[in-house]
Homo-oligomer: A and B are copies of this chain.
Amino acid sequence: MRQTQLFIRTKKDAPKDEVSRNAQLLIRAGFIHKEMAGVYSFLPLGLRTLNKIIQVIREEMNAVGGQEVLLASLQDKEPWEKTDRWDDEKVGVWFKTKLKNGTDLGLAVTHEEPMTRMMTQHISSYRDLPALTYHFQTKFRNETRAKSGIMRMREFLMKDLYSFARTQEEHDTLYASLKEAYKKVFKRVGLGEVTYPTFASGGMFSKYSEEFQTVSDAGEDIIYVDEASGQALNTEVLNDEVLNDLGLKRENLVEKKSIEVGNIFSLGTKFSSPLGLTYKNEKGESLPVIMGSYGIGPARVMGTIVEILSDENGLVWPESVAPFRVHLLSLNADEKAEEIYTALSGAGIEVLYDDRDMSAGEKFTESDLLGIPYRVVVGKRSLVSGKAEVKKRTENESQEIAFDDLISFFK
């Protein structure tokens, strides 16, 4: 993409009302736009990164047999009343609205209820199970505080997957495969080394659950990490019984601030029973389906990457989720830069090409702010040497690469 065609303007200063580092940097770099507190829009570079995170998650969900669907956001109250989650006293973050005839509707806070109800139309026999369904769909949560940028939005895309099993044993196998898939997701997006599976309370769903917590000072959570085993636990479950079950010793735990980037729940029959999701086993007996739910918010992952990896000069994207792989800067050498842009793009390498008429200093500063993994500079000196200056965003030293070797360098 040519920057002369990209409509965004970067900013020197962050908006004064924005306290989170992720939103400050993403707004300055023109990745997102703030609509109001807790509500952000994604601009071209931000959407590209968000979509790359979505695609990583999609691939890992498909790899364990997930089937992608798209459930609606507008919710009728019927299934939520059956599970006792319609009342605002029970679920405090509902946004609600009304049809013209006065019928109450909700905006999905999550999708256990409609997903379970939908599956009653398709599952009836043991032959229909197991099944894994997931979608990327907007959730709406009427948060009182919304000061964490794109890590806690009032409207946000979530990947939520639901597992449907015949037996607890079958559920445990699905759950374990999803847990592994989650580890792969966080590893692929560059958060693997600082993200811990974390034993936690099950909330409304079950006695226990597991969270994936990324260590960061920007986090709203506190976890206790046993660094030897890589296991962590949440404050809520820091008691002798749990420590004993997990084989952990209190004195080995280190307290850390963290961001919850994913969570997985065993739901048992908490949703299938009230909503009538049953199957007939080989003997013709009707049994409730054993369920699990597994969530990741792609924008929270994106905000977390910004919190963890960015530096004093701006954003730093891992190659797996960067909006482009290469940032090509022309410094008064447009003819050669055009040629390189065409060649690299033609070879399938994603290039953002700064073809604007601006000073070298401005281009360098903005390139650091955008955080694309590789910067390739073509200037007057290059035309003499036949070499471009290639620098990784994470390194200070650049190297000279002959024009003819650029494609193979990036392949």
Contacts and interface: CB of A to CB of B under 8 A. Distances in A.
Contacts of A40: 72
Contact of A74 (B8, B39, B119): B39
Nearest to A33: B118
A395 interface: no
Contacts of A9: 121-122, 124, 128
A323 to B, nearest CB: 12
A182 interface: no
Contacts of A124: 9
Contacts of A69: 41-44, 47
A399 interface: no
A384 interface: no
A95 interface: yes
A397 to B, nearest CB: 34
B140 A74 contact: yes
B99 A142 contact: yes
A68 B155 CA distance: 19
A228 interface: no
Given A9-B121, A67-B5, A114 B76 contact: no
A7 B99 CA distance: 32
Contacts of A43: 69
B70 A41 contact: yes
Contacts of A283: none
Interface in A4-43: 5-9, 30, 33, 35-36, 39-43
Interface string A87-128: 000000001111110000101000000100011011110001
Given A97-B95, A107-B107, A142-B100, A5 B65 contact: yes
Contacts of A50: 70
Interface string A50-93: 10000000000000010111111111100000000000000000
A96 B30 CA distance: 29
A74 to B, nearest CB: 5
A325 to B, nearest CB: 18
A202 B114 CA distance: 39
A132 B365 CA distance: 27
Contacts of A44: 67-69
A9 B118 CA distance: 11
A118 B41 contact: yes
Given A41-B72, A96-B97, A30 B122 contact: yes
B123 A7 contact: yes
Nearest to A36: B76
B97 A35 contact: no
Interface string A127-140: 01001010000101
A309 to B, nearest CB: 22
Contacts of A133: 7
A144 to B, nearest CB: 6
A154 interface: yes
Given A73-B155, A100-B142, A114 B67 contact: no
Given A73-B138, A142-B99, A122 B8 contact: yes
A142 to B, nearest CB: 6
Nearest to A9: B122
Q: Which among A43, A72, A123 has the greatest number of chain B C-beta atoms within 10 A?
A: A72
A142 B101 CA distance: 10
B74 A47 contact: no
A118 B33 CA distance: 7
A254 to B, nearest CB: 36
Contacts of A5: 65, 67
Contacts of A36: 74, 76
Interface string A185-218: 0000000000000000000000000000000000
5 contacts: A35-B74, A42-B69, A44-B68, A47-B69, A47-B70
